[in-house]
Copies of this chain bind each other. A is one copy, B any other.
Amino acid sequence: MSDNSSEIKDISLAHKGLERLEWVRERMPIMRHLKARISDEQPFKGLHLGICLHVEAKTGVWLEALIAGGAGISITGSPGTTQDEVAAALTKEYGVKVFARRDESFDDHLQFAERVLESEPDLIIDNGADLHFLLHQHETFAQVKHKIIGATEETTSGGYRLREELEEQAFPTIVINDSRAKRIIENRYGVGLSVVDGIMRCTNILLNGLKIAVIGYGYCGRGVAICLRNLGAHVTVVEIDPLTCLDAHLEGFEVGDLGDAIPKAEMVITVTGSSGILAKEQFADLKDGAILVNAGHFEFEIDVAGLREIATDSRQIRENIESFDLENGKKLFLLAKGNPVNLAGGDGNPIEVMDLGLALQTLSLIHLIENSATMEHKPQNVPAEVESEVSKMALEAWTK
């Protein structure tokens, strides 16, 4: 293919890709509404968007709306998460420049990101800040960078990197995931439900009466703890911040420190956002037969490498369940290799969560187009009026 064309697996999958969009489109009423509106108003007319996001069906439905709003689009994804048939459909049916293959290497990924920037986008939609760092650190993109109106960054960790590691920035960046709306809908509600889903798929066990230790009681941890309790599990919360722990106690949870909770738990779920929560020295204290689950952001909340070191034997005994034998004769079971169980063991975030998240993206982009001139060139929160407007659209879509 030529320099300007897509780099995808197989264009002939386009028809299958279109099918995949159908159910998702059905469950994205906010985007349906937004699409109708921006089709009229054409806020993206003449603008090119450079996107780095998972190339899958929910993103696909979003791109349909952006295109209807006048946007031109170049997109790349992440290694391992691309749905090749969606990539094909976007290329063939919508003329999007797609640089993404499920089997792409990390080198491919970096090259693809550069291809997106070479399309000279007016706005950037980033995921983990990769595009931002390329733009600001590579000479090649010096000119592109100064043409850019503004950007969004999907993740909290990307926002963190921008704040900590990138001193001078050429444009304002709105960090989507830090919004109160995302925290409520995704962390408090979406994660709890999808973690239950992931656990059930991996294990087929009865949660009623199960003794579960939930480590971490932030928005996500609270969502997970409440969902599981409401389904009949006996949940103990472990939380180091005393006031948050007090909150869990008054909410009706048993609370305790890690040392108390671990020997009694039949399942341990980490939801902290930190690494090494379940560390090498704890594994031997776990109850025999305990099931280990990570529902946090990263794969290293449970020290899986350490577990492998001390295990005398390990084997995959069911899809997404690995069994570990310890020297003291106990067995432990690890779900989804320690990856977030809702993503690795289930289908990830419910569609509606993405519908709202992508609506925040859309209105944040329009906000940048209209206000970039007066905005500071640094990472910032989703504007309150955007949160409010998206919430109204969600209420309208979900309660009528």
Contacts and interface: CB of A to CB of B under 8 A. Distances in A.
Given A22-B317, A350-B204, A351-B206, A185 B232 contact: no
A184 B244 CA distance: 9
A205 B318 contact: no
A178 interface: no
A319 to B, nearest CB: 10
Interface stretch (A160-168, A271-279, A365-373, A384-392): A384-392
The SS class assigned to the A binding surface is helix
Nearest to A198: B200
Interface stretch (A46-54, A67-75, A97-105, A188-196): A188-196
A206 B394 CA distance: 13
Nearest to A394: B246
B181 A193 contact: no
Given A200-B346, A231-B230, A352 B246 contact: no
Contacts of A252: 208-209, 229, 232-234
A323 B23 CA distance: 9
A255 interface: yes
A208 B255 contact: no
Given A245-B391, A395-B246, A395-B255, A208 B232 contact: no
A353 interface: yes
Interface residues on A, range: 35 or more
Contacts of A209: 249-250, 252, 398-399
A116 B396 CA distance: 56
A6 to B, nearest CB: 25
Interface in A57-72: none
A341 interface: no
A115 interface: no
Interface in A341-400: 346-348, 350-353, 387-388, 391-392, 394-395, 398-399
Interface string A4-26: 00000000000000011011001
Interface in A239-279: 241-243, 245-247, 249-252, 254-256
Contact of A193 (B23, B188, B201, B231): B231
A189 B210 CA distance: 12
B26 A246 contact: no
The copy count of this chain in the complex is 4
A108 B190 CA distance: 47
A214 interface: no
A68 B229 CA distance: 38
A321 B347 CA distance: 15
Interface string A318-346: 10010100000001010000000000001
A180 interface: yes
Given A27-B205, A206-B350, A250 B184 contact: yes
Contact of A243 (B232, B234, B388): B388
Contacts of A243: 180-181, 184, 387-388, 391
Contacts of A250: 184-185, 188-189, 206, 208-209, 232
B289 A255 contact: no
A389 to B, nearest CB: 8
Contacts of A289: 26
8 contacts: A23-B318, A205-B352, A206-B351, A207-B350, A232-B252, A242-B395, A243-B388, A249-B399
